[in-house]
Structure 1
Amino acid sequence: MTATAVEPDRQQACSPASGELDRAARRVLLTNWRGHATVPAARLYPHQWSWDSAFIAIGLRHLSPVRAQRELESLFGAQWQDGRVPHIVFDPHVPADAYFPGPSFWRSGQAPGAPGVPTSGIVQPPAHALAAWAVHTADPVASRARGFLPRIYPRLVAWHRYLTTRRDLTGSGLMSVVHPWESGMDNSPAWDVPLARITPVPVTEFTRRDLDHAAAGERPTDTDYGRYVRLARDYRDAGYADSLGVHGFAVEDPLCNALLAAGEHALAAMAAELGLPPERHRSAAARIAGNMTTMLYDPAAGLFFPRDAHTGRVLRSYSAGGLMPLVVPDLPVAAALVETALSDRFRLRDACPLPSYDLTAGDHDPGRYWRGPGWVNTSWLFWHGLRLHGERALAGDLRRRLLGRVRDAGFREYFDPLTGSGHGTDGFAWTAALVLDLLRTP
């Protein structure tokens, strides 16, 4: 197992409280299972989402490695010919108006190289290689018997190739996200400056479905949503072609590039397992990590910042995305990231989950989508990075407090990092899946 791999089951939870939490997490995943994949939340997110499925597979491997494999296989079954993995795979059995933007908006069937199933045209952070290797190591015998790696590895390679070629919009060796939704941290203040250049589509021209299931005060504003629609519509109308001329919003994001580098390490492990040379993946990982550290890291701040691909300017917003490069093995600035996480901006020792945005900022909002609340998935990534870089005591403390938050507030989409109150939808699949992983990893 490589240094990036998520460790397999070492220790089953044994306390009554842990057993109850384990059973509750299993119920969430059973409720959200659709026979081939898991939806993030039955009402608010009724289709398959890309990086959700990666985190869900990491948890499912403890219940059924085969089901975890199927989760990823279902997602990659909708991969486009150019290698992109769409951020949504739509379920044809769900009413067409259950989610906006839906299949009729994205019109993937009219795009060259799109799969036979309806999907969106944008992507999400590339957590999939990390998940696939973790799923394989959970039960290598079952994985080999099903031929999981021989099937998923070339698809993952094509996915990474798309990101490192088509999405290297500046020639910097870093991938760009071209929509806030692609970052995973949709509504983060990190995107406010480049997003302000985008003229929003009037709210009279679309119908938001998210507000049917979540309070408006916890979701993006109508103005920002109008900008999201504008960006997605422009991309669609350009035939999903990638260039700075097409994308009004284009940002080199630390979180996505960090997962891409970590994923290359996982691909190296897969290549070795398959009897293929791993060196190209190790070289790619080192190249991405080096470019990211050279171009996006600020030593004075002890944090990675996104960079606007149009202007070349660093976007100085203290978001949790700037801490996520801790998932990269041998990162030379890992200790500085931990120090920043311990600072008043993130308060790693007492705030939980890890705040998505600077606690000391005047516009920190602990209840609004990605503008302050903590999420279990980014906290899990940071926990994984702490373990990877030898910070076992901090990792153990974060694990304990994360489990306590979920035990107290339920399997919520996100949480107030100081009070622990739950926000967003309930019965959230990656919260449940990652709780299963935390319970089984001391």
Structure 2
Amino acid sequence: MFAASVVPQERRILTAIPGPRSQQLMARKKSVVADGVATALPIFAASAGGGILEDVDGNRLIDLGSGLGVTVVGNAAEAVVRRLSAQATRFTHTAFSVTPYEGYIEVCEALAELTPGDHAKKSALFNSGAEAVENAVKIARAYTKRQAVVVFDHGYHGRTNLTMALTAKNMPYKHGFGPFAPEVYRVPVAYGYRWPTGAENAGPEAAAQAIDQISKQVGAENVAAIIIEPVLGEGGVIEPAKGFLPAIRQFAADNGIVFVADEIQSGFCRTGQWFACEDEGIVPDLITTAKGIAGGLPLAAVTGCAEIMDAAHAGGLGGTYGGNPVACAGALGAIETMKEFDLNARAKRIEAIMKARLGAMAEKFDIIGDVRGRGAMIAIELVKDRATKEPNPEGASALAAACHQKGALVLVTGTYGNVLRLLPPLVIGEDLLNEGLDVLHEALDGHV
């Protein structure tokens, strides 16, 4: 179905994890790389493609993490490599703000086509998700002439000073790095699994609470932007309960507030739709993208209503590397791949496989409190007791470590550090995906 990968699509464990060569490189890392730059799995990559990551010791791990959700189209996808290679031979940089180039415009045209809504849209390109979110705030403030920004419990938006303020979780993202940017206000989100009166009530009750807090504590007339991830990734792959997003979006529209969908992790086919906000028909004023946009190259975007996007003065948006020509070429290759192989349908197929397998595991292992997510953005929340739902971060860490030793790369996430997140590349073979889930089942068998 997909172009053949140069990396054999087979799990193979030749050494302990990490192996001797990775251990040598980790010692070199320790001597020259700041300790604050941590790694989830101390192996060093040698090559990757399809659903496999091969390390410098020759071990091949099943990739259920996609480099934090980035390699939607797989590593070194043919169209990505073809386009970026051709661009790199022509020129690698001019700065769009100095001497522009067509690739930047082509990416913006694609974003106007693919993002929700049929209104006139414009985009600005940046380097990272945090940079995109920060610029969305700038644009919203310029447009509304207001200052306050509303975000949500369990949300993650980046590591810059402003986006740390927007992010909910203290450790490791914010601890010791303050003071943070002012005029940021946090309100409840409809976390169905942990909503006190039950998941069936979470949508309307959380929306009512959030709107009440905004109205009374901030004042709707002071709010420039409401920013939310349609699926909250770092917070634990939380799908806001049905009805929550439409209510918040309507409140924003009724009060002249710019509604920003942060689709940095959930966008570009990851959830089985081009963008996760489409699930409930949400058309945001602005949408931020990164991660899956460019097949692994650093690129991000803010896309939205042309009138809002044009609120910033000339020269107010940009940056030396924003919309780099090679990264733009990679984005066009990634989008080509998504369309050619219908990766939205592929994500839905991956969801069906993972939810069936994980659901069966939840019936067997009481440590699994919840199975959730959409498309190829699926998670299990681990608890110490299903009745109390006490988070089990120790179990999550142990389970991830066991999977790594057996050759499956998985990610631990969540506000409480108790969620195992599965973000496979959408081009992973079904046999390999099932084998990765077999590894998870074996790890649960041995550690629960």
TM-score > 0.5, shorter chain as reference:
no
Higher share in helix: 1
Larger Rg computed on CA atoms: 2
Q: TM-score, normalised by structure 2?
A: 0.25
TM-score with structure 1 setting the length: 0.26
Q: Which protein has greater RCO, CA pairs closer than 8 Å, 6+ apart?
A: 2
